[in-house]
Amino acid sequence: MIVTVTTNPSLDRTISLGEPLRVGQVQPAIGSREDAGGKGINVARVVAAAGHPVIAVLPLDETDPFAAALRSVRLPVRTVRVHGPARANITIADPEGVTTKLNLPGISLADADADALTEAVVETSGGADWLVLAGSLAPGLPADFYVTLIRAVRAAWGDHAPSIAVDTSGAALHAVVAAGVADLIKPNEDELAELAGVALDPGVAVADAVLDVARRLVPEKVAAAFVTLGGDGAVLVTAGGAWHGTPPPTRVRSTVGAGDSSLAGFLLADVAGADPRDRVRGGIRYGSAAASLPGTQAPTPADLSTGDVPVRAVT
């Protein structure tokens, strides 16, 4: 089983344009859609669509319109009752797949909410293979809240605790890496560079530049890093080696949730016993499939490209 945690869920509204966005002008849209989102929920939806057991843990007000959107996707959930609506994230996507995002802050969680959320995560994690902590922290939560969750889960389950993946950014990611508690992080190249406090070398291929930066963290601060690079694929860095995969040709419609789908594909390959190369392939196939779909849709195995995903060892 895979358990995901989303402290700051969102109702994702995607507006599709027939031509590039014209800032400051009136412009017609050709369509729109709403999806229950937030990084952990996006990961859980992909895992569920693949037929693998999953539970998504999140704070939720049952009177919130977000609750109806969540029920519509029939995702197994463990909710912690809070009062107030989930945030709304607005994405504007043009025909070339260029997206503009506006993310609202979300409702503030009090200490009692944080305690209830911690208890729910610990209980739900029993027997899980992976625990995924994903997305921004809700307002009111301390920057090291993910560290608190990880330590609580490991204290409760000991040697039977799940492996833990973290997909966040900024202060929350800094706290996790500083504490050295994650089995896997999944930044993109910009988040990785910010985390390491360096700039990627523009004079070398992005995969090689990412490897140079990731090696400052792996394995001393984190056991592994799966770095998503958009159209340049992804790089996996572990103590035992590094691999770079490139995606098949993809017509990009929306990049929202593509990184989340990549993480889901990586974890699905891992729980199936795949080697590092096939874990990279799984992540890239799912990320590319998500980018080919409008809105924040969860790709299914039927959406995966059959095109080749070359993976090479990086030294």
Asked if pLDDT for residue 260 goes beyond 80, the answer is: yes
The alpha carbon of 103 is separated from its chain's Cα centroid by a whole number of angstroms, namely 15
Domain with residue 272: its CATH number is 3.40.1190.20
CB-based burial label for 136 (10 Å; 0-12, 13-18, 19+): buried
Structure-block tokens of residue 132? 């995924």
Q: Which pLDDT value is given to residue 126? A: 96
Residue 291 pLDDT greater than 90, yes or no = no
Q: How far is CA 183 from the centre of its chain?
A: 15
Q: What angle do CA 54, 59, 61 make, to 5 degrees?
A: 120
End-to-end CA distance of the chain: 33
Beta-bridge mates of residue 226: 236
Q: pTM score, two decimals?
A: 0.92
- Per-residue pLDDT of 130-160, as tens digits, reads 999 999 999 999 999 999 999 999 999 999 9
- Please list, in sequence order, all residues whose beta carbon lies within 8 angstroms of the beta carbon of residue 203, skipping any fewer than 6 positions away: none
Contacts of 64 (CB under 8 A, 6+ apart): 84, 85, 86
Residues in the chain, total: 315
∠ Cα 260 50 229 (to 5°): 25
Q: Are strands 77-81 and 54-60 parallel, antiparallel or unpaired?
A: parallel
pLDDT bucket at 197, cuts 50 / 70 / 90? very high
| The token pair that represents 17 in the structure block | 């344009």
Round the average pLDDT of the chain to a whole number and report it: 93
pLDDT at 250: 77
Task: Determine the average pLDDT of the residues in 164-192.
Answer: 97
Residue with tokens 């990611």: 173
The 10s digit of each residue's pLDDT in 32-56 is: 888 888 999 999 999 999 999 999 9
Q: Which domain holds residue 226?
A: 2-21+29-313
Q: What is the pLDDT of residue 93?
A: 85
For residues 172-193, give the mean pLDDT.
96
φ and ψ of 133, to 5 deg: -105, 110
At 257, list the tokens: 């949730």
- Six-digit token string for 16: 């599709």
Report the number of distinct structural domains present in the chain: 1
pLDDT at 295 over 70: no
Report CA-CA distances (Å) from 68 to 35, 63, 86, 227.
10, 9, 12, 33
Give the mean model confidence (pLDDT) for residues 79-86. Answer: 94
What are the C-alpha distances in Å from 293 to residues 12, 16, 167, 290, 296? 14, 12, 22, 5, 8
The tokens of 263 are what?
A: 């993480």
Compute the CA torsion angle 69, 43, 48, 238 (nearest 10 deg). Answer: 180
Cβ atoms of 80 and 59 within 8 Å: the answer is yes
Task: Indicate the Cα dihedral angle 267, 286, 257, 179, nearest 10°.
Answer: 30
